[in-house]
């Protein structure tokens, strides 16, 4: 076997083993899992998640997922807990301990200390006969028969299984809480995901100038307006109402057809009934209209149907919506 074949064989073998372990997880979603989720859902305190080694890293990811989906969670390293961080745990907190074997030295020291504080302990382990499983109040069985590591030593399959069970836990809680898209946006206001949920057309039009001409505006003035406002477009309005639109493409086509511009006005070349959107619409709605109609600018109107400004495709790109 050459080097490339060896690499491919090893990678495919690893994926196959982990895939099989994950595929078997649905058989472990039982009454114990439901009880553990219910316990967390009904708790008045937070979720404290602890572990050592690679399990500690997975614990941190689960904490992040819980926090972003409506369940307050805090990470506490099991080794640090027995050296002062035990104070992280408050009276009504629920503690989840991750350990593949369930028999590590740190876990054996930590669990009795937590129990002495009368906190509920939920075990996430591959070994239902372990010290952790037998001394916990609840069990989430994250079973991995064998690590993908050829020596069955490096945590691989076991941590993948823990990660997936953590997601199952977080999303079961999300469903129970009725956690909505709007709730999600509140926890992700700075990212593109959050912006898709809260950014409105009014937020975009506020970033731009407001190109506007009257129907009888001479073509030269129209060109200057489009050039100065730098959006490649201008609305044509009458009494604050949109009656048409002129794009830089319209200007180019007009110049190709007419050698003499005298007497031409905005009304002469404008497109009537342009696509419009209200300022309180979501930015994602504006994107849908732009993409559906293969256009790069969209005129916006307020509640009284008065011209309010322009949304440009570049605005959506800049904000990370596209």
Residues that constitute the known binding site for Zn(2+): 77
**Are the C-beta atoms of residues 168 and 140 closer than 8 Å to each other?**
no
Dihedral angle of Cα 142, 111, 96, 48, to the nearest 10 degrees:
-160
**Considering just the CA atoms, what is the radius of gyration of the chain in Å?**
30
Phi and psi of 103, rounded to 5°? -130, 20
Residue 181: burial class (beta carbons within 10 Å; 0-12, 13-18, 19+) = exposed
Contacts of the segment 144-147: beta carbons below 8 A, 24+ positions apart: 144/21, 144/100, 145/21, 146/17
Nearest residue to 93 via CA among 79, 103, 83, 81: 81
**Are the C-beta atoms of residues 215 and 241 closer than 8 Å to each other?**
no
What DSSP line would sit under 221-266, residue for residue? HHHHHHHHHTSSEEEEEETTEEEEEEEHHHHHHHHHH-S--TT-BH
- Degrees to nearest 5, angle at CA 21 with 15 and 23: 95
Which tokens belong to 106?
A: 């740190």
């Amino acid at each position: 076997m050459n080097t490339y074949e060896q690499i491919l064989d090893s990678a495919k073998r690893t994926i196959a083993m982990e895939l099989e372990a994950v595929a078997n997880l649905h058989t472990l979603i039982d009454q114990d899992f439901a009880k553990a989720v219910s316990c967390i859902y009904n708790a008045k305190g937070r979720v404290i998640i602890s572990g050592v080694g690679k399990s500690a890293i997975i614990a941190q990811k689960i904490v992040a997922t819980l926090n972003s989906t409506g369940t307050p969670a805090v990470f506490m390293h099991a080794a640090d807990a027995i050296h002062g961080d035990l104070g992280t745990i408050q009276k009504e907190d629920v503690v989840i301990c991750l350990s593949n074997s369930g028999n590590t030295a740190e876990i054996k020291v930590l669990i009795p200390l937590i129990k002495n504080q009368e906190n509920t302990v939920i075990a996430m382990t591959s070994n239902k006969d372990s010290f952790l499983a037998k001394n916990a109040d609840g069990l989430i069985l994250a079973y991995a028969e064998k690590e993908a590591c050829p020596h069955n030593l490096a945590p691989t399959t076991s941590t993948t299984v823990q990660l997936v069970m953590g997601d199952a836990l977080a999303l079961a809680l999300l469903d129970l809480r009725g956690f909505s898209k709007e709730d999600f946006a509140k926890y992700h206001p700075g990212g593109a995901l959050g912006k898709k949920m809260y950014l409105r057309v009014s937020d975009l039009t506020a970033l731009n100038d407001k190109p506007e001409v009257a129907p009888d505006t001479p073509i030269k003035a129209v060109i200057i307006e489009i050039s100065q406002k730098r959006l490649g477009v201008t609305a044509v309005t009458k009494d604050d109402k949109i009656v048409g639109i002129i794009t830089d493409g319209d200007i180019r086509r007009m110049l190709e057809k007419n050698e003499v511009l005298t007497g031409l006005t905005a009304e002469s070349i404008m497109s009537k009934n342009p696509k419009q959107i209200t300022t309180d619409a979501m930015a994602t709605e504006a994107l849908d209209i732009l993409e559906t109609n293969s256009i790069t600018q969209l005129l916006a109107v307020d509640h009284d149907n008065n011209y309010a400004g322009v949304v440009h495709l570049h605005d959506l790109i800049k904000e990370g919506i596209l």
